[in-house]
């Protein structure tokens, strides 16, 4: 009879430790959707790049690819924006269900620690572009995104640590396959988000 | 019977156990954060923090953020040690069953 109470004590201690130090309302479903958006974006980007490759005249190819940069950037930014909006909306919904506020100490800490490596990687990529080192941009973003996930995993559901490690490995591998960055992105940002999102969805979202 | 002696009377309440659990994994927590997480009333929480302060398991810092008074709590070394002892005693009791 007594030991049952002690067990309840331990469960409550663990629950409070998690709830007070980690933001646990992160939605798995938003990961799945972000992965799908990334794949759709990669599909369109692939189409544009394939069209450029067909052009035989080198001068014309140069001008068309120059014009396409804007479209490609637009695709990338749309994917990121829609993903963030989806994550925010679904996480808010889950937080309401779990009686957690979406804007509290744990979520602020999570966002800050996620953004430190991510912004570093973003700035570093801009520097790479400015200096004309285009070859390693795809790898750089994958690696820094991976590091962001690893860093953020201490402040939310620990599983995104593995998403991070997978992306770091993909990023390092992609340095050996310059020109195939888009495929590595499709795997890292697309398929891996879907895989880990599904895993987290079944592990956390469905249970509660 | 040495196991039983490690069960600490100071932690023998849901709220007090809760306060310690939160402070073990956070550098510090303020009154409102504790209140929100534990679902306690002001008076109830205040009496339990006072009890833990009296045995020197937690430290209290009062300060002003702008014009608002803010009370924040953190664990002491003694408090952390006693809490760890208490947890391992609980675990031993459970495993015995």
Gap from B10 CA to chain A (nearest CA, Å): 14
- Among B14, B21, B97, the residue with its CB nearest the CB of A17 is B21
CATH number of B2-96: 1.10.10.10
Nearest CA in chain A to B12: A9
DSSP designation for A155: G
* Chain-chain contact of B93 with A13 (C-beta, under 8 angstroms): no
Quickly state the pLDDT bin for A198 (edges 50, 70, 90): very high
Asked whether the beta carbons of residue A16 and residue B87 sit closer than 8 angstroms, the reply is: no
Q: Is residue A4 pLDDT above 80, yes or no?
A: no
Per-residue confidence (pLDDT) for residue A148, from 0 to 100: 97
pLDDT at A2 over 60: no
Q: Give the model's pLDDT for residue A15.
A: 87
Determine whether the interchain pair B37/A17 forms a contact, defined as Cβ–Cβ distance below 8 Å.
no
d(CA A136, CA A157): 30
Residue of A nearest to B96 (CA): A3
Give the residue extent of every domain in chain B.
Answer: 2-96
Count of A-B CB contacts under 8 Å: 44
Cβ–Cβ < 8 Å for A203, A158: no
Distance set, CA A39 to CA A44, A70, A72, A126, A183 (Å): 9, 19, 14, 24, 10
| pLDDT at A62 (0 to 100) | 81
pLDDT attached to residue A59: 85
**CB pair distance less than 8 Å for B90 and A10:** yes
Q: What is the pLDDT of residues A11-49, one digit of tens each?
A: 889 888 988 888 888 899 999 999 999 999 999 999 998
Are the beta carbons of A97 and A10 closer than 8 angstroms? no
pTM as predicted: 0.80
| Local confidence band at A57 (pLDDT 50, 70, 90 cut-offs) | confident
DSSP codes joined into one string, B20-67:
HHHHHHSS-EEHHHHHHHHT--HHHHHHHHHHHHHTTSEEEEEEEETT
Contact A3/B14, CB-based, under 8 Å?
Answer: no
Tokens representing residue A61 in the block: 């190819």
Higher pLDDT: A54 or A3? It is A54
Residues of chain B with pLDDT below 70 are: 1-5, 97
> So what's the pLDDT on residue A3?
57
Taking the C-alpha atoms of residue A3 and residue A53, their distance in angstroms, rounded to an integer, is 70
Torsion angle of C-alpha atoms B10, B12, B14, B16, degrees rounded to 10: 0
Cα separation of B84 and B78, whole Å? 10
- pLDDT at residue A176 is higher than 70: yes
Q: Is the pLDDT of residue A187 over 90?
A: yes
């Amino acid at each position: 009879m007594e030991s049952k109470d002690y067990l309840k004590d331990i469960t409550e201690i663990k629950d409070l430790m998690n709830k007070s130090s980690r933001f646990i309302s992160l939605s798995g479903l938003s990961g799945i959707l972000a992965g799908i958006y990334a794949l759709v974006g990669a599909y369109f980007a692939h189409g544009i790049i394939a069209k450029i490759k067909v052009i035989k005249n080198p001068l014309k190819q140069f001008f068309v690819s120059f014009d396409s940069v804007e479209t490609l950037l637009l695709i990338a930014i749309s994917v990121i924006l829609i993903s963030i909006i989806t994550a925010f909306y679904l996480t808010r919904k889950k937080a309401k269900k779990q009686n957690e506020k979406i804007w509290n100490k744990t979520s602020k800490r999570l966002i800050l620690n996620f953004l430190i490596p991510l912004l570093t990687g973003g700035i570093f990529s801009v520097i790479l572009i400015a200096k004309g080192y285009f070859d390693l941009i795809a790898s750089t973003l994958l690696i820094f995104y991976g590091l962001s996930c690893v860093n953020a995993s201490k402040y939310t559901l620990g599983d995104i640590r593995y998403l991070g490690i997978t992306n770091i490995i993909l990023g390092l591998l992609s340095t050996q396959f310059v020109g195939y960055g888009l495929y590595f992105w499709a795997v890292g940002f697309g398929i891996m988000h879907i895989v880990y999102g599904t895993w987290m969805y079944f592990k956390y979202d469905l249970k509660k | 019977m040495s196991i039983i002696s490690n069960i600490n009377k100071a932690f023998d309440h849901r709220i007090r156990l809760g306060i310690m659990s939160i402070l073990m994994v956070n550098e510090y927590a303020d009154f409102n954060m504790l209140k929100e997480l534990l679902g306690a009333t002001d008076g109830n929480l205040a009496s339990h923090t006072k009890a833990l302060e009296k045995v020197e398991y937690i430290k209290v810092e009062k300060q002003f953020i702008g014009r608002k008074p803010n009370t924040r709590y953190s664990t002491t070394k003694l408090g952390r040690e006693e809490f760890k002892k208490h947890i391992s005693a609980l675990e031993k009791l459970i495993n015995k069953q």
